[in-house]
Chain A
Amino acid sequence: MTPEEVLEQAVTPANVGFVIISAAMVMIMTPGLAFFYGGMIRVKSALNMLMMCFVSMGIVSVLWVLYGFSVAFGDGFGEGNGGGIIGNFDFIGFQDLLGLDGSGDVMAFALFQLMFAVLTPALIAGALAERVKFSSWMVFITAWVTLVYFPVAHWVWGAGGWINTLGEKMFDGEYDVIDFAGGTAVHINAGIAALAAVLVIGKRSGFKKDSSMRPHNLPMVLLGAALLWFGWFGFNAGSELAVDNITALMGFNTMVATGMAICGWLAYERLRYGAYTTLGAASGAIAGLVAITPAGANVNPMGALAIGLVAGVVCAWAVSLKYKLNYDDSLDVVGVHLVGGLIGTLLVGFLAMEVGGIQQFVLQALAAGAVLVYTFVVTALIAFAIKATIGFRSSDEEEAAGLDQVFHAESGYDFSQTGGPVSAAGVTAAAAETATADPGEKKVDA
């Protein structure tokens, strides 16, 4: 549903309430993602991974008020028109929005969409695990949402977005690009950005060699996956922005496609590696959720099962590609989000109820291809720019010492009865000089 349609609707308390609850559910996905990723990291950099996700809630919330919402969705509510590429700059700082008729609907919509803008850059963090400077990561989030996410969200969902209106131009509205909740704008977008960024940044030292790189806390991974799954009902069903038949169908398909994807991933693992892994079950769930995201409102439950099965099996295979092609997508953002996003976005071209067929597939492929090309190029440029100026990677010594100590001055866990290396005499008020020191220059106990 476009923002214009949102405004045309009467403000109904049920819909506003539903959208705000959905927004809260999508909000929990970012910490959920942090746990999902954090558990897969070595102990010494686990907090860093959690923080790479969590800080997105800080940065993007601020940018959203300043200009993000206006750039992504402004043309649905104001005079300005960015020609299908961006929204406008009419609502910088949000003041003018509060005076509109139906501002309750608009504010709920803005809150809901903010959560998507927070989650999408956080998804990329998994690919860059354990080897980037935290300050550079924050610069990356700022540049990436500004130059990539806000425009691409406009293309796909904005009132005048060129992908959103592509079907009108090509097929007089007989067919429209289907991306209900973010196959292109969120998952293909984050997945291809992750690929571009890891190609610029390079591999962790020890990639493919160091056997300590296995997940440190799989129960936490499963907990994170469960929080993501829960929140995803808000993400998917909430994207209807109202309570109706589509909302229920989307919620239902979100459940069953995900269940099917777990079965698919586990079957693949059992046949190929001989074990049903917990990480596989968690990963299969995410793959299914990703794939049903663009498609769930347009397929019947059997179609949802088909999408879930393909996503589970193909993503289980795709995560091994990085070892063959030799790129360190640490937590498989490419294998799960890019591949899963493509599966859902392309399959719905054929499986969509009523409109499925070659015309629909062409539209889907054009939308996916445009995001692939644009996001890959712009993300690579951003990553190169950061690398050339402030530097993107932490040093090898910092990577070996663990980024928790280097960038956050903390340890994630303390299970030692003796308090580990901290003695009572060692606890003092943090001196001003250490608090302001450049973390990069601190002594590292490697």
Chain B
Amino acid sequence: MKLITAVIKPHRMDEVKDALQAFGVHGMTVTEASGYGRQRGHTEVYRGAEYTVDLVPKTRLEILCEDDDAEQLIDVIVKAARTGKIGDGKVWSVPVETAVRVRTGEVGPDAL
């Protein structure tokens, strides 16, 4: 099994979700995140004082999948999330040792 993590622009979330559903992904975990890579933040002005806000809001989604699906899934996310502008985010995968479905106790790929 693999855990795929994607950090993307929040406004691309709907497209990514639709693409993943069309691909056949049944579930995912989504969290609000903030950070920066090559894209830096912006400047805000409060009563003449400039504040550099360098952490940019991002959406982080995590999906568990079978090993064979990982490459294609990453491809789906990348295509749906891309705007071509700086700050589009990153997608990566890591191997997963075990997974259990809490309700039934199913283990491994059956739990996905």
A residues near B, CB below 8 A? 211, 213-215, 269, 272-275, 277, 279-280, 283, 316, 319-320, 323, 332, 335
Contact = CB atoms under 8 A, between A and B. Distances in A.
B59 to A, nearest CB: 17
A352 B3 CA distance: 75
A272 B45 CA distance: 11
A382 B46 CA distance: 31
Interface of B: 44-53
A280 B51 contact: no
Nearest to B44: A214
A335 B48 CA distance: 12
Contact of A279 (B46, B50, B52): B46
5 contacts: A211-B51, A211-B52, A211-B53, A273-B50, A335-B47
A280 B48 CA distance: 9
Contact of B47 (A211, A274, A332): A332
Nearest to B55: A211
B48 A273 contact: yes
At the interface, is chain B mostly helix, strand, loop or mixed?
A: strand
A214 B48 contact: no
B77 to A, nearest CB: 26
A319 B47 CA distance: 7
Contact of B45 (A211, A269, A332, A335): A269
Nearest to B53: A211
Nearest to A272: B48
Contacts of A283: 47
B52 A277 contact: no
B5 to A, nearest CB: 22
Nearest to A282: B47
B45 A275 contact: yes
Nearest to A268: B48
B46 A320 contact: no
Contacts of A323: 48-49
A214 B46 CA distance: 7
A214 B51 CA distance: 7
A434 B49 CA distance: 41
Contacts of A269: 45, 48
Contacts of A316: 48
Contacts of B48: 269, 272-273, 316, 319-320, 323
Top 10 A-B pairs, shortest CB-CB distance: A320-B48, A319-B47, A273-B45, A211-B51, A214-B51, A214-B46, A279-B46, A319-B48, A275-B45, A211-B52
Q: Which of B45, B46, B48 counts the most A-chain CB atoms under 10 A from its CB? A: B48
Contacts of B49: 320, 323
A182 B49 CA distance: 30
Contacts of B45: 269, 273-275, 277
Contacts of B46: 214-215, 277, 279
Contacts of A320: 47-49
Nearest to A274: B45
A332 B52 CA distance: 21
B76 to A, nearest CB: 29
A38 to B, nearest CB: 15
Nearest to A273: B45
Contacts of B50: 273
A312 to B, nearest CB: 13
Contacts of A319: 47-48
A215 B44 CA distance: 11
Q: Which of B45, B46, B51, B52 has the largest number of chain A CB atoms within 10 A?
A: B46
Contacts of A277: 45-47
